[in-house]
Amino acid sequence: MNLLSGVRLGVGLNLLPGPGVYTLNKLLIYTQPAHLAAMDGRSTGDRELPTVRAAFVRRLLEAEPS
- For residue range 5-25, list pLDDT tens digits in order: 999 999 999 999 989 989 999
pLDDT at 43: 87
- Tell me the C-alpha to C-alpha distance, in Å, between residue 59 and each of 6, 18, 28, 54, 55: 21, 15, 15, 9, 6
Residue 66 has pLDDT above 70, yes or no: no
Q: Which 3-state string (H, E, C) describes 3-52?
A: HHHHHHHHHHCCCCCCCCHHHHHHHHHHCCHHHHHHHHCCCCCCCCHHHH
Is residue 57 over pLDDT 90? yes
The pLDDT assigned to 35 comes to 94
Stretch 39-46: mean pLDDT = 86
Percentage of the residues of the chain whose pLDDT score is greater than 90: 58
45 pLDDT exceeds 90? no
